[in-house]
Amino acid sequence: MVYLTRLEHFNAAHKLYNPAWTPEKNDEVFGPCANENWHGHNYELFVTIKGQPDPDTGFIYDVKQLSVLIREKVIEKVDHRNLNLDVEFMQGKICSTENLAVGIWNELKQNLPLGIQLHCIKLYETPRIYVEYFGEQNA
Amino acid sequence: MSKKVSVFRKEHFNAAHRLFNPGWDDVTNEKVFGKCALPHYHGHNYEMEVKVTGKPDKKTGYVIDLKELGDLVKREIHSRFDHKNLNLDTKEFKNLNPTAENIVVVIYKLLRPHIDKKMGLQIRLYETPRNFVEYPVN
């Protein structure tokens, strides 16, 4: 098994806010991340797929095609957007890095060609904070 | 030691903004600023490099105490801009388009009065890992 990773990036605004809580409770839990007028990040997205290299091409999957897919299915929807207001796949969810990584996994998983296995979404929110999601192992 | 030396302190803040000229209509704003003009804002991890140039002090060997410089940047810059919407939450950009160019000049003006006049000051500001600006120009 070989793992292939493509790195893409996007910039977005968001806030961490649970609408079921009072503003005071949100402030207590999320601190400055709950600022009502948003803040933002440069996100770096690492998408890793896995498989056996094709004997004819030596590729698991054409990495250019992978880049086009990530741009069409994810970057176009989130880049220079407000994650809370503008992104359909985050509606009704708290826009944490954890939930965003799972949302990106779901967007890509359903659009990858048959036989291409998604292995990991690694998402940097800042140069010092990132999350990894490997899908649901038993799903 | 009488040679001048530059010392650097890196700090960072995260903020939302949009690029928008209120004197223009939406079509012109979108034409000039593209996605950066989208109405619901977007955001960045801003990274600052604050450069102070001068002769090291004879007693300490320091150009400037970097811990004190770090505390100054946190007090004057981080506390104003971190986790804020530059357009909506800051008085500095109420009437000034928050481009990287304008932000770096604002940061310089906020810091300059707090640093010894004998010392040179220059700010480099990264808006993304690939886009950055410097002020003043040598």
What does the pLDDT look like over B26-52, one tens digit per residue?
999 999 999 999 999 999 999 999 999
Please count the other Cβ atoms lying within 10 Å of the Cβ belonging to residue B54.
18
Please count the other Cβ atoms lying within 10 Å of the Cβ belonging to residue A56.
6
Q: Which candidate, A46, A95, B119, B34, places its Cα nearest to that of A87?
A: A95
Q: How confident is the model at residue A137 (pLDDT cuts 50, 70, 90)?
A: confident
Catalytic positions of A, please?
A: 33, 80, 125
pLDDT at A138: 53
Q: Which candidate, B76, B105, B95, B67, places its Cα nearest to that of B13?
A: B76
Distance (Å, rounded) from C-alpha A47 to C-alpha A29?
30
The ipTM value here is 0.86
Q: How confident is the model at residue A50 (pLDDT cuts 50, 70, 90)?
A: very high
Contact B43 A41 (CB under 8 A): yes
Q: How confident is the model at residue B2 (pLDDT cuts 50, 70, 90)?
A: confident
Q: Which two tokens stand for residue A92?
A: 């009704």
Of the CA atoms within 13 Å of residue A2, those in its CB half-sphere come to 8
Share of chain A above pLDDT 90, in %: 95
Distance (Å, rounded) from C-alpha B79 to C-alpha B83?
9
Residue pair A37/B98 in contact by the 8 Å Cβ criterion = no
Q: Which of B43, B84, B88 sits opposite A11 (nearest CB)?
A: B43
Q: Can you spell out the DSSP letters for A76-124? A: HHHTTEEHHHH-GGGTTS---HHHHHHHHHHHHHTTSPTTPEEEEEEEE
Q: Phi/psi of residue B10, each to 5°?
A: -100, 135
Q: In what order do the strands lie in the sheet with B42-54?
A: B84-85, B5-17, B42-54, B120-126, B132-135
Contacts of A80 in chain B (CB under 8 A): 35-36, 38, 42
Q: Which two tokens stand for residue A62?
A: 């054409």
Contact A79 B129 (CB under 8 A): no
Q: Which of A33, A39, A127 sits opposite B15 (nearest CB)?
A: A39
pLDDT at B1: 55
**Is pLDDT above 80 for A70?**
yes
| Residue to test with chain A: of B13, B19, B44, B45, most A Cβ within 10 A | B45
Q: Which candidate, A84, A66, A104, A71, places its Cα nearest to that of A16?
A: A84
**Is pLDDT above 60 for A139?**
no
- Look up the pTM and report it: 0.91
At CB < 8 A and 24+ separation, what contacts does B35-38 make?
B35/A79, B35/A80, B36/A80, B38/A80, B38/A81, B38/A82, B38/A86
Q: Read off the pLDDT of residues B56-106 as tens digits, 9 standing for 90 and up.
A: 999 999 999 999 999 999 999 999 999 999 999 999 999 999 999 999 999
Contacts of A42 in chain B (CB under 8 A): 43-45, 128-129
pLDDT at B118: 95
**Is pLDDT above 60 for B9?**
yes
